[in-house]
Amino acid sequence: MTEQFDAVDVIRTKRDGGELTDAQIDWVIDAYVRSVVAEEQMAALAMAILLRGMTRREIARWTAAMIASGERMDFSALRHPTSDKHSTGGVGDKITLPLAPLVAVFDVAVPQLSGRGLGHTGGTLDKLESIPGWRAALSNAEMLAQLDDVGAVICQAGSGLAPADRRLYALRDVTGTVEAIPLIASSIMSKKIAEGTASLVLDVKVGSGAFMKDLDAARELARTMVDLGTDAGVDTRALLTDMSTPLGLTAGNALEVRESVEVLAGGGPADVVDLTLALAREMLDAAGRPDADPAAALADGRAMDVWRRMIAAQGGDPDAELPTARESELLLAPADGVLVRLDALAVGVAAWRLGAGRARREDEVQAGAGVELHAKPGALVRAGEPLLTLHTDTPERFARAREALADAFTIAPEGSRPDLPDSVVLDRVVAS
């Protein structure tokens, strides 16, 4: 077979600051999947994209080519409109768990395809797998049946969605090109568009515990993804949300499920509740339910009812006792004063080292491992009182977790105020 293009010519075009044509983009993605374009050639092209960037047209075509490498799901047969949420990942980010059943209360189908944790950011599937019997792998038919019956499903994406992205994602991870915004945006959006949802709300995290550390970079990523979704006919909007401090009071798998159930029962930490409601209102508005009141559905138990049905539909026991770690250790406040800083990245790394996360995709996670917070910034603390509880099945991990937390917090004199945003939601990006 004679190839339409030569990989070196495509690389040179982008290296020299040129725009790739639609035909070049279509060919290079297809040829990469066929292994005609070698790994080192795609690595060179990814680096050229990192350094030179892409136009809106190029990113849209690149995303479309990755979608075309696999299957597309179709939810048009469902009785209700569909809406989904994607988070760029953070520490203590259990929002998907209460959010999916909450939105489904209002006759909106929520097809939440989620992933596993890697490094300091937790994975939704790892959290739910701490529930006895719950399974992440569903066939397309099972997923559609559950959406039609329950209204919400949280499961792993099938291997047929954007297979080109799986190869490219792994390559970027080992070639220093993870930070390329066009490639981040197309990676996320190729899977979400292929998933087939009619509307999508993006939760783009900003801060030490997030992938995007500053607001300008996060806003650029959000704008790029909103444009991609809009161009593909998906009603897409984004919230930029704070990830300088962990969300809620837990980071870990079963720990976060427990906290999510508290939110569904009408309680839970204020920041988790606030962000769940903010994202729910965006999803409901995008799905044509602008007058819905998600706060009422949390308070009166309707969201909890859907949660229980959703967990049971995937083989889980919503009444089962969740796993707890065999060992725990307290980290105490060293002085009196006001806690003005608790670094999200440090807490995430500690939870990871305790066994809640994985360094490689094939690693096992501990269901009960993680970090429990006893104070958040703004709280008055006393010397010798617990600040954090560390949980693990393997106590030899405590030392490394403590190392991660050595400079994780700041206690200032009484009367001090933490330098925190007024709201967990920092900004909103909609279609231009």
Across 355-372, average pLDDT: 86
Given a cut of 70, is residue 119 above it in pLDDT? no
The one-letter code for the residue type at 417 is R
Spot the catalytic one: 187, 190, 199, 260: 187
Spot the catalytic one: 85, 86, 166, 281: 86
pLDDT at 420: 87
Q: Report the alpha-carbon distance of residue 85 to residue 283 in Å, rounded.
A: 8
pLDDT band per the 50, 70, 90 thresholds, residue 61: very high
Determine whether 34 is an active site residue: no
Across 113-133, average pLDDT: 85
Better pLDDT: 256 or 167: 256
pLDDT at 269: 97
Across 291-295, average pLDDT: 98
Spot the catalytic one: 94, 191, 205, 302: 191
DSSP 121: B
Task: For residue 146, give every residue at least 6 positions away whose Cβ sits within 8 Å of its Cβ, in sequence order, or none.
Answer: 138, 152, 153, 310, 313, 314
Given a cut of 90, is residue 1 above it in pLDDT? no
pLDDT band per the 50, 70, 90 thresholds, residue 99: very high
pLDDT band per the 50, 70, 90 thresholds, residue 160: confident
pLDDT at 158: 78
Report the CATH fold assignment for 327-412: Aldehyde Oxidoreductase; domain 3 (3.90.1170)
User: Would you say domain 7-53 falls under CATH 1.20.970.10?
Assistant: yes
Task: Give CATH 3.90.1170.30 domain extents, the chain.
Answer: 327-412
Determine whether 35 is an active site residue: no
pLDDT at 114: 87
Spot the catalytic one: 84, 93, 165, 227: 165
Given a cut of 80, is residue 359 above it in pLDDT? no
Spot the catalytic one: 14, 61, 116, 172: 172
% of the chain exceeding 90 in pLDDT: 86
Give pLDDT tens digits for 325-351: 999 999 999 999 999 999 999 999 999
Task: For residue 105, give every residue at least 6 positions away whose Cβ sits within 8 Å of its Cβ, in sequence order, or none.
Answer: 151, 294, 297, 302, 303, 306
pLDDT at 179: 84
pLDDT at 249: 98
Task: For residue 55, give every residue at least 6 positions away whose Cβ sits within 8 Å of its Cβ, in sequence order, or none.
Answer: 19
Hey, which of 72-76, 155-159, 348-352, 355-359 has the most confident mean pLDDT?
348-352
Report the CATH fold assignment for 83-320: Pyrimidine Nucleoside Phosphorylase; Chain A, domain 2 (3.40.1030)
Q: Report the alpha-carbon distance of residue 318 to residue 316 in Å, rounded.
A: 6
Tokens 């009196």 locate to 336
Across 223-232, average pLDDT: 95
Q: Report the alpha-carbon distance of residue 317 to residue 314 in Å, rounded.
A: 9
CA neighbor of 158 nearest in space, from 95, 108, 114 = 114
Task: Give CATH 1.20.970.10 domain extents, the chain.
Answer: 7-53
pLDDT at 221: 95
pLDDT at 174: 82
Q: Report the alpha-carbon distance of residue 266 to residue 262 in Å, rounded.
A: 7
Determine whether 187 is an active site residue: yes
Q: Report the alpha-carbon distance of residue 127 to residue 314 in Å, rounded.
A: 14
Give pLDDT tens digits for 229-278: 999 999 999 999 999 999 999 999 999 999 999 999 999 999 999 999 99
pLDDT band per the 50, 70, 90 thresholds, residue 361: low
pLDDT band per the 50, 70, 90 thresholds, residue 208: very high
Task: Give CATH 3.40.1030.10 domain extents, the chain.
Answer: 83-320
Read off the pTM: 0.93
